[in-house]
């Protein structure tokens, strides 16, 4: 399971909840073990946040919503190829994330590569893990587009752009954000694939398009790094900004405030704030429902079909009479 679009996030939520439901239903111990093993692949900010969130789910949700399940049977494993988590952060933040996740019972498998996943068995470089839940957070690959030759793409399938966000020497074709790769002195591998470079490039590009219309000189893009943050769990985050590196509860508060302020619209901000406060104190999220169209094999689907048939037969009888 990937974690990029809203649809994928909904799919993942359904999948997690369904794994719990199926684990309660089965008497097969091996099957239950598989359903209760959650593996996150990739120890960047997304992987760390997801593993932390699953650990909080085990702590608060599983215990409450599935009293028949033995919480200790739920395994959360974070697999990463590097020797430290949050590799783009400072080592202090990596250490903090590793210590906190271990403290919350997340099994860390570092310097370990995933080789494949088949028949609900995840193959690692040094072992195999039976699991029904594998989340891929080990990086994104940009979509390519016809019309650009392969030498116009750099690593991660990102379009190589110049300092004015222009692609392949064209004057009027631009690429921005995750899909673009601008190598600069301070950023020899391009800018990080996070929101800030995308937003700053958009501002720069818009100004330059207006400047082009007015026949003025273009302004080269300069990235203002405002820092990085990642939540590791309830009350815990790491923050790096302007030379400061801190974490714990303060980091978590800073994370909350900054993310809240970036939500569009006062009404949304207020509603999300109320929702967060409610969830924080009650551990009760109204999102714990499985929402998806019915699938042919579902029990409910079969039940509905059976009811439809009964209804049809009934109407046929009435018509005939």
Ligand X SMILES: Cc1cc2nc3c(=O)[nH]c(=O)nc-3n(C[C@H](O)[C@H](O)[C@H](O)COP(=O)(O)OP(=O)(O)OC[C@H]3O[C@@H](n4cnc5c(N)ncnc54)[C@H](O)[C@@H]3O)c2cc1C
Q: 40 - beta bridge partners?
A: 78, 135
Q: Binding residue for ligand X (CB under 6 A) from 19, 165, 193, 204?
A: 193
Q: Is 86 in the site for ligand X (CB under 6 A)?
A: no
- Within 124-143, which residues bind ligand X (CB under 6 A)? 143
> Which of the ranges 72-80, 107-115, 158-166, 190-198 carries the binding residues for ligand X, by CB under 6 A?
190-198
Task: Select 71 or 245, whichever has its Cβ closest to ligand X.
Answer: 245
Q: Binding residue for ligand X (CB under 6 A) from 80, 96, 178, 240?
A: 178
- Supply φ then ψ for residue 287, to 5 degrees: -90, 0
Q: Is 177 in the site for ligand X (CB under 6 A)?
A: yes
Name the minimum Å distance from CB 137 to ligand X. Answer: 7
> Which of the ranges 104-112, 159-167, 173-181, 239-247 carries the binding residues for ligand X, by CB under 6 A?
173-181
Task: Select 10 or 198, whichever has its Cβ closest to ligand X.
Answer: 198
DSSP summary character for residue 245 = E
- Supply φ then ψ for residue 251, to 5 degrees: -60, -40
> Which of the ranges 96-104, 157-165, 171-179, 273-281 carries the binding residues for ligand X, by CB under 6 A?
171-179
Residues 24 and 250: their CA atoms lie apart, in Å, by 38
Residue 174 CB neighbours (<10 A)? 21
- Within 245-304, which residues bind ligand X (CB under 6 A)? none
Which residues have a Cβ under 8 Å from the Cβ of 140 and sit 6 or more positions away?
A: 4, 156, 178, 193
Which residues have a Cβ under 8 Å from the Cβ of 125 and sit 6 or more positions away?
A: 112, 113, 114, 115
Please, are residues 240 and 227 in contact by the beta-carbon 8 Å criterion?
yes
Name the minimum Å distance from CB 253 to ligand X. Answer: 16
Name the minimum Å distance from CB 90 to ligand X. Answer: 17
**Size, binding site for ligand X by CB under 6 A:** 12
Tell me which residue has its CB nearest to ligand X.
177
- Within 16-55, which residues bind ligand X (CB under 6 A)? 46
> Which of the ranges 28-36, 73-81, 92-100, 172-180 carries the binding residues for ligand X, by CB under 6 A?
172-180
Q: Cα-atom radius of gyration of the chain, to the nearest Å?
A: 24
> Angle, to 10 degrees, between the axis of helix 45-56 and the axis of helix 91-103?
20
| Structure token digits, residue 140 | 């994104």
For the chain, report the end-to-end CA distance as a whole number of angstroms.
54
Query: 29: helix, coil or strand?
Result: helix
> Which of the ranges 27-35, 57-65, 193-201, 282-290 carries the binding residues for ligand X, by CB under 6 A?
193-201
Q: Is 4 in the site for ligand X (CB under 6 A)?
A: yes
| Structure token digits, residue 53 | 């969130």
Task: Select 36 or 43, whichever has its Cβ closest to ligand X.
Answer: 43
Task: Select 69 or 80, whichever has its Cβ closest to ligand X.
Answer: 80
Q: Is 226 in the site for ligand X (CB under 6 A)?
A: no
Q: What is the per-residue burial (b if ≥16 Cβ within 10 Å, else e) of 58-67?
A: bbbbbeeebe
Name the minimum Å distance from CB 60 to ligand X. Answer: 22
Please, are residues 160 and 179 in contact by the beta-carbon 8 Å criterion?
no
Give residues in contact with ligand X (CB under 6 A): 3-4, 46, 143, 177-179, 193-196, 198
């Amino acid at each position: 399971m990937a974690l990029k679009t809203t649809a994928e996030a909904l799919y993942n939520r359904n999948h997690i909840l369904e794994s719990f439901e199926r684990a309660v239903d089965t008497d097969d111990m091996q099957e239950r073990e598989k359903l209760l093993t959650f593996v996150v692949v990739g120890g960047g900010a997304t992987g760390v946040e997801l593993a932390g969130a699953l650990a909080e789910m085990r702590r608060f949700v599983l215990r409450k919503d599935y009293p028949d399940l033995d919480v200790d049977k739920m395994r959360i494993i974070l697999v990463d190829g590097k020797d430290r988590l949050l590799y783009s952060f400072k080592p202090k933040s990596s250490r903090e994330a590793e210590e906190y996740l271990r403290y919350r019972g997340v099994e860390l498998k570092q310097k370990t590569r995933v080789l494949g996943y088949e028949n609900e068995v995840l193959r690692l470089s040094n072992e195999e893990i039976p699991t029904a839940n594998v989340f891929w957070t080990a990086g994104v690959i940009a979509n390519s587009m016809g019309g650009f030759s392969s030498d116009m793409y750099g690593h991660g399938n990102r379009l190589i752009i110049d300092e004015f966000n222009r692609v392949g020497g064209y004057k009027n074709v631009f690429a921005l954000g995750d899909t673009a790769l601008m190598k600069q002195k301070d950023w020899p591998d391009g800018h990080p694939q996070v929101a800030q470079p995308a937003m700053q490039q958009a501002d720069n590009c818009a100004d330059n398009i207006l400047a082009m219309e007015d026949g003025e000189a273009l302004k080269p893009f300069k990235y203002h790094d405002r820092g990085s943050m990642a939540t590791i769990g309830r009350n815990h985050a790491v923050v790096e900004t302007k030379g400061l590196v801190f974490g714990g509860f303060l980091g978590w508060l800073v994370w909350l405030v900054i993310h809240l302020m970036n939500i569009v619209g006062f009404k949304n901000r207020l509603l999300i704030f109320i929702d967060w406060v409610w969830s924080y104190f009650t551990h009760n999220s109204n999102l714990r429902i499985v929402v998806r169209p019915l699938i042919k094999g579902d029990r409910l689907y079969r039940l509905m079909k059976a009811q439809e048939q009964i209804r049809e037969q009934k109407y046929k009888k009435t018509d005939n009479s």
